[in-house]
Every structure is written in structure tokens, then in C-alpha cells.
Amino acid sequence: MFDRLALLAGLYGTVLIVYGLAELPYRRLVGWYTLPMLFIVSVAGPLAFFEPGTPIGGALSTPLGNISVTWAGLVLFFELSCRSLTVVTFALTASMTTKYTDVAYMLGRLLPRPIDQVALLTYRFTFVMLETLEDLVKAALSRGANFSEFWSNKRLYARILGMTMLSAIEQSERLVKSMEARGYDGDIVLYGDVSRPPIHELFVVAGSYVAVVGYALIAVYEVGL
């Protein structure tokens, strides 16, 4: 029961080490964990109470019956937490250490048109909209806003989201006009090429694939060695 959890925890620790080796800020990572933590609390939390097994401590009496956290439920909670945080950390590391031209080149090679164009523009303006949202939040905080309670400040949240959407629409209209003025015909031309990675990086990628397949065979499908 604890073998899979130890493996997932080790994988999460490895991704955290890679994140640090890329010289990315750990302090901001805590803030970026807000969304996956919401998933963990809302989904993995209740599952911990409904997993059968040996209960930890006493049971809580409810109108629906007695509920308790079992060892299996606790392990399941930490497994889902490690999975979610590993995926988020890896995605952040990959997106913040890869050049936009490299991402654009690979999307253009892998995705059909016009899906590749939509993906490129979405990837580019995701960071622009995040900066806009951060500026709006800072402006609201400087005016004495309080984000501690959602329901009591729901109008403030609605205004910020509304301003973000209006800003996105305005920037998209300006982008369309500027691209049409520059002769955009449905294809973003990239000048340059992505060089072939060195041999040691190819070995790292191959080793990662082997590790993922091995984990799937041993931990998921329980194939014996």
C-alpha cells in the first residue's frame, strides 16, 4: 500500500529538484499551487473518508452514518496530492524553461492547421493575461481590498474577472488588426530551426520514458519482475 506512495513521493521530489536546478523561484511555486490544492481538497479530501480499511482514531457520527479516515484513505489522499503537484510542477518547469520559438516550432510540426495557430496564440497570451490579472489584483489590494473571504467579496472577484475578460477581448481585437496589417494569412512564420538535442539529453528522455512505462507496468498493472 505504501510502495506506490513512496514511488510517487520520490517522483515529486525529483521534479522539485529539477525545478530548483532550473533556478526557478520556490516562493512563487507555493502560490501557483493554489489551483491543484483546490482540486486536492475538493476531490481527494472526501475520498479519504469513503475508502474502506482500518480507521485512524475514532469515527465521526453524521446523519448519514459514521465516517472515519482509514489508512487506505489517507494513502489515497497523499497519492492524489503527489500526482497533482507533480504534473503541475513539471508543466510549470517545462513552460518556463522552454523558448517560445522552440514551442512554436514543435507545435507547428505536431499539430494540424489551424489548431497549431490557436495553440500558439493561446500559449503566448496566457502569460499576458496572467500579468494583467496580477496587475488588477495589486491595484485592488493597494485600494484596501480584502481577498480573504470569497462570498463576502464576490462582487470584487466579479469585477476583476470582468475586467480581465474585457482586456482579453480588447487585446485580441488589436492583435487581429496588427496581424492582418502585417499580411497574416493563417500561418505564423518562424525564422530559425530547433537544433537536435545532444546525445546525453536524448538518453535522459529515453530513460524517462522507460521509467514511466516501468511504473505503469509495476505499480498500475502489477506486473511482477
Between helices 71-97 and 2-21, what is the axis angle to 10°? Answer: 20
Query: What pLDDT does 112 receive?
Result: 81
High-pLDDT (> 70) share of the chain, %:
84
Q: Where are the domains of the chain?
A: 2-97, 100-181
Q: Give the tens place of pLDDT for each residue, 204-217.
A: 878 878 877 887 77
pTM: 0.62
Query: What pLDDT does 189 receive?
Result: 62
Q: How far apart are CA 68 and CA 48, in angstroms?
A: 8
pLDDT value at 63 more than 80: no
Give how far Cα 178 sits from Cα of 37, 142, 182, 184, Å: 39, 34, 6, 9
pLDDT value at 165 more than 70: yes
Terminal CA-to-CA distance of the chain, rounded, Å? 18
